[in-house]
Amino acid sequence: MAKVAFIGLGVMGFPMAGHLKVRGGHDVTVYNRTSAKAERWAAEFGGRAAATPAEAAKGQEFVFACVGNDDDLRSVTTGKDGAFETIASGAVFIDNTTASAEVARELYAAASAKGARFIDAPVSGGQAGAENGVLTVMCGGDAEAFDRARPIIEAYARMVGLMGPAGAGQLTKMINQICIAGLVQGLAEGIHFGKKAGLDIERVIDVISKGAAGSWQMENRHKTMNAGKYDFGFAVDWMRKDLDIVLAEARRNGAKLPVTALVDQFYAEVQALGGNRWDTSSLLARLEK
């Protein structure tokens, strides 16, 4: 049993912190900006709710965070009453936020200055993956800190990998999002074309999903896309935040991402249709408008 804090009890963080308590059997203290959520978590899982990230992090062996973006992450770490005010020397800070590689390196340096370790550890698998404790976790940081954190992270994960030094976890998550962007657009175009051609989409997918065109998105999203339902998981606003991070990194490293850049603009059009909170498969709605 380890002494653990979890900062950020959103759609992802709430169940992830729950797995640390129930499945991992750890001593968990939580912090959430909107305190009602932290109190609800403490009532449900029996842990302690702290008033600030600094209070939550004090005396812990492992401190987790899962907040929105780079600035949110800075606010709960190096900001006023942030976790880095109190983090213990030797503690490991594990960040599950999808953020930039730049902020990961910056916070790795800030944690090191306190004698602590920072691991960027963005996740893939969505709300269902968090609730079922089967996330994929892509880590960047030191091997020694990773080896200590890995068994703790495994409480909410099916796959945990160390990808390289600080920032490598975020870079891997960027590749994940690049691969998804073009794929979902292809799936949307296929379904759109099938409908125009007068084919039975269920029948089409039943057959082609067993061949070379098959994908997780096809298996898990075709039914809801065909029904025009877009409230299943990862929101367009989050995807645009992620693609913004990806395209900024590509400008730095010189990678050419023409399809990713185009799909990002398509998501901007989905937002203009009112789809900010629709899930990422709503690229089909744009074709059918």
Catalytic residues, which ones? Answer: 173
* CA distances (Å), origin 165, targets 34, 67, 122, 152, 172: 33, 22, 14, 20, 12
Residue 161 burial (10 A CB sphere; 0-12, 13-18, 19+): middle
Nearest to 265 by CA among 170, 189, 185: 185
Closest distance to ligand NAP from the beta carbon of 193 (Å):
28
Query: Please, is 1 exposed, middle or buried when counting C-beta atoms within 10 Å of its C-beta (0-12, 13-18, 19+)?
Result: exposed
Pick the binder of ligand NAP from 141, 167, 233, 275 (CB under 6 A). Answer: 233
Among 52, 77, 86, 98, binds ligand NAP (CB under 6 A): 98
**Interaction of residue 33 with ligand NAP, rule CB under 6 A:** yes
Task: Please count the other Cβ atoms lying within 10 Å of the Cβ belonging to residue 159.
Answer: 13
From 4-12, 159-167, 192-200, 206-214, span contacting ligand NAP (CB under 6 A):
4-12
The distance in angstroms from the start CA to the end CA of the chain is 53
For residue 179 the two structure tokens come to 């691969």
Strand 62-65, strand 92-95: pairing: parallel
CB of 74 to ligand NAP, least distance (A): 8
3-state SS assignment for residue 75? helix
> Which is closer to ligand NAP, CB of 97 or CB of 260?
97
Nearer to ligand NAP, 77 or 185 (CB): 77
At residue 205's C-alpha, the angle toward residues 203 and 208, to 5°, is 110
Pick from 77, 86, 97, 177 the residue near ligand NAP by CB under 6 A: 97
217 makes contact with ligand NAP (CB under 6 A): no
Q: Which of 6, 8, 163, 176 binds ligand NAP (CB under 6 A)?
A: 8
66 binds ligand NAP (CB under 6 A): yes
Instruction: State which of residues 30, 91, 123, 157 lies at the interface with ligand NAP (CB under 6 A).
Output: 123
CA distance 111 to 95: 12
Residue among 75 and 215 whose Cβ is closer to ligand NAP: 75
Residue 246: in which H helix or E strand, if any?
helix 236-253
| Among the residue ranges 29-37, 160-168, 202-210, 259-267, the one whose residues contact ligand NAP (CB under 6 A) | 29-37
32 binds ligand NAP (CB under 6 A): yes
- The answer to whether 19 contacts ligand NAP (rule: CB under 6 A) is no
The position carrying tokens 């902020």 is: 103
Residues making contact with ligand NAP (CB under 6 A): 8-13, 32-34, 37, 66-68, 72, 75-76, 97-98, 123-124, 126-127, 233-234, 238
